A and B are shown apart, each in its own frame.
Chain A
Amino acid sequence: MPTKPIPANQNAGPIPGPGLTDYVGASQRVFRLALSAMARPAHRLDFDFDGLFGPSPPLPPSVAALALTLADHLTPVWLSPSFAAAEPFLAFHASAPIARVPGKAAIVLAASPKELPELLSLNQGDPRYPDRSTTVILGGALEATSMGITFLATGPGLAEETIFSDHGLGMDFARQWELNRASYPLGVDVFLAGDGCLAGLPRSLALIPKPS
């Protein structure tokens, strides 16, 4: 055993706050919710993420809950600039390595569509293992004040075309999303993590901007 002596009063870093109060129960429920979000895309699912935590986490509760459920010691996580302060929290609770560039991340946490890296710059997966592409958790896109464009959503998981609005995604996202979908089966999947709600955009989903 390497025994370089370390004095007993030295901590490794700032003390992070507590994470999910009931890790096992919460992560099960959040995972199930995430599955539902991807299975029925572009559909807003309500969920009390706040209730999963004691003191507020340093990320929006929906983002934090998803990150703590999905990340582990093998999934490098990239944090967008507004989320940078949450590094110790994630490193402690998820044991997640922090990626310095989005292209090296298994999970990207973006605080808003403005801070979302170009989707093509993310890991697109591998022809034999397309599932190994980056998963994006995008905050700030499902807020009540969102004013994005209206999409017509269609694809696997939707019995019929669905109007998808009440989000903060604009034409730039629409353009990127079309390119993403064109590279199917490669490409990234996106979770829209809002205030008390979640929606999933799997790479197989078509989002067609609808003229208003």
Chain B
Amino acid sequence: MYVAVKGGQKAITEAHKLLEETRRGDLSVPEISLAQIQNQMGLAVDRVQAEGSLYAPKLAALATKQAKGDLVEAIFLLRAARASLKRFGYSEPIETASMRARRRVSGTFKDIPGGQILGPTFDYTHRLLKRSLMDGGQAPPGGAPIPIAKGPGAQPGADGLGGELLGVATILEREGILETVGTAPEDGEPFDLTRQPLEVPLARPGRLQALARADEGFLLALAYSSQRGFGSVHPFVAELKLGPVELGFRAPELGMPITVGEIEVTECQTANQFKGGAGKPPMFTRGYGLTFGHNERKALSMAIVDRALRAGELGEAIKGPAQNPEFVLYHGDNVEASGFVSHIKLPHYVDFQAELSMLRAMRKKFNGSGGPPEPDDKDE
């Protein structure tokens, strides 16, 4: 445990001033605006929203600015902001089938209903640094930015990109070779991590909520480990989609669901090899990843880890950390993890003194009586 130490108030106040100075940096350089961060660092903002577990682009941009680009710190700020707000209620479940997808690809079939739409992706870039993006460089011609998220929309279905695009997963399901996991509807509201403590075993809805807000790097490493054989998952991407979906809410005073806006989400559905077991025939099993904003690596990793965590119910031996719910669910939240790891920076003076005395006593015994005297060798 750490000790509350007095006398540092002045130093702390000065530290805050210095922090603000370094945050702002060189005064001859223009101050960065929230609009710039939102527009030109959108993927950072999206990560902060996904792991901050709060869809609020402007606040996420503010958090990113205040945290000087440290996204885990920004996530912490957003979580704190979220904790101060009143909850109106639960939304209607979003319908990703009606997403106005601006990117939609499948790794399982070449020809899919609506086609493979690459959208704005880094996938095929050559990963060469672009001098044209440097100050004074010639920026390549681009179109007007594609309106995202808050962008309004007409009635769905008109253009083949919105409305009901037949899902690849649905095609596989109709053939009977992709499993169906659980069924809607259920009674009451699903498990809510923000209202009940996390305890394992945890059913899939709770696991998905935990994974959706988990650290991208952690999930990426787990997914990778799983693919490399630590409890293997052999995933195929049935469908990866990015785009806005309408958010419906049933306000009690209205007695009916209404649209309150659009949120952008990234969704990944995987089909995974399964040779049969636990009374189930050989089939493709499912993994599901869903995040706020544009977070493909996270959605993919989440889908792989989701499938790995289903090892128990599918009768698979648990061979790797990605399959271990206690390992994955308890260590995935980077605010929690960062808090506990970072707390050791705080004063542990009394603890350490206790350790020191114990160590000296042990060393005295080890050296035997008559050994060289230890410095400050007296009982505390």
A/B contact in complex, CB under 8 angstroms: yes
| Stretch of A1-9, A49-57, A139-147, A154-162 contacting B (4+ beta carbons < 8 Å) | A1-9
A74 to B195, CA, bound (A): 10
CB-defined contacts of A12 to chain B, threshold 8 Å:
252-255
CB-defined contacts of B124 to chain A, threshold 8 Å:
none
A2 in contact with B252 given A73-B88, A95-B88, A95-B89 (CB within 8 Å): no
- Give the one of B86, B248, B253, B257 with max A CB within 10 A: B253
Q: Is A91 an interface residue (CB 8 A)?
A: yes
CB-defined contacts of B95 to chain A, threshold 8 Å:
1
A12 to B253, CA, bound (A): 6
Q: Could you tell me the distance in whole angstroms from the C-beta of B164 to the nearest C-beta in chain A?
A: 13
CB-defined contacts of A13 to chain B, threshold 8 Å:
253, 255
CB-defined contacts of B88 to chain A, threshold 8 Å:
73, 95
Q: Is A72 an interface residue (CB 8 A)?
A: yes
CB-defined contacts of A72 to chain B, threshold 8 Å:
86-87
Q: Could you tell me the distance in whole angstroms from the C-beta of A113 to the nearest C-beta in chain B?
A: 31
CB-defined contacts of A2 to chain B, threshold 8 Å:
92, 256-257
CB-defined contacts of B256 to chain A, threshold 8 Å:
2, 4, 6
Q: Could you tell me the distance in whole angstroms from the C-beta of B62 to the nearest C-beta in chain A?
A: 19
A4, A6, A73: the one contacting B89 at CB < 8 Å is A73
Q: Could you tell me the distance in whole angstroms from the C-beta of B156 to the nearest C-beta in chain A?
A: 9
A91/B195 in contact, CB under 8 A: no
A74 to B255, CA, bound (A): 17
B246, B252, B259: the one contacting A95 at CB < 8 Å is B252
B246/A1 in contact, CB under 8 A: yes
CB-defined contacts of B89 to chain A, threshold 8 Å:
73, 95
A13 to B252, CA, bound (A): 10
Identity of the chain B residue whose Cβ is nearest the Cβ of A74 in the assembled complex: B195
Identity of the chain A residue whose Cβ is nearest the Cβ of B258 in the assembled complex: A1
Q: Could you tell me the distance in whole angstroms from the C-beta of A4 to the nearest C-beta in chain B?
A: 7
- The interface bits of chain B over 230-250 (1 if a CB of A lies within 8 angstroms of the residue's CB, else 0) are 000000000000000010100
Residues 61-97 of A contacting B (Cβ, < 8 Å): 72-74, 91-92, 95
CB-defined contacts of A92 to chain B, threshold 8 Å:
252-253
A1 to B249, CA, bound (A): 10
A4 to B255, CA, bound (A): 12
A1/B252 in contact, CB under 8 A: no
CB-defined contacts of A95 to chain B, threshold 8 Å:
88-89, 252
CB-defined contacts of A4 to chain B, threshold 8 Å:
256
A1 in contact with B86 given A74-B195, A91-B252, A95-B252 (CB within 8 Å): no
A12 to B251, CA, bound (A): 10
- Give the one of A1, A13, A92 with max B CB within 10 A: A1
- The interface bits of chain B over 81-116 (1 if a CB of A lies within 8 angstroms of the residue's CB, else 0) are 000001111101001000000000000000000000
CB-defined contacts of B252 to chain A, threshold 8 Å:
12, 73, 91-92, 95
A1 in contact with B87 given A12-B253, A12-B254, A92-B252 (CB within 8 Å): no
Identity of the chain B residue whose Cβ is nearest the Cβ of A73 in the assembled complex: B89
A1/B259 in contact, CB under 8 A: yes
Q: List 22 A-B contacts (CB under 8 A).
A: A1-B92, A1-B248, A1-B257, A1-B259, A2-B92, A2-B257, A6-B256, A12-B252, A12-B255, A13-B253, A72-B86, A72-B87, A73-B87, A73-B88, A74-B87, A74-B195, A91-B252, A92-B252, A92-B253, A95-B88, A95-B89, A95-B252
Instruction: Give me the interface of B with A, judged by CB distance under 8 Å.
Output: 86-90, 92, 95, 195, 246, 248, 252-257, 259
Other A-B pairs, 17, CB within 8 Å; known A12-B254, A91-B253, A95-B88: A1-B95, A1-B248, A1-B257, A2-B92, A2-B257, A6-B256, A12-B252, A12-B253, A13-B253, A72-B87, A73-B89, A73-B90, A73-B252, A91-B252, A92-B252, A95-B89, A95-B252
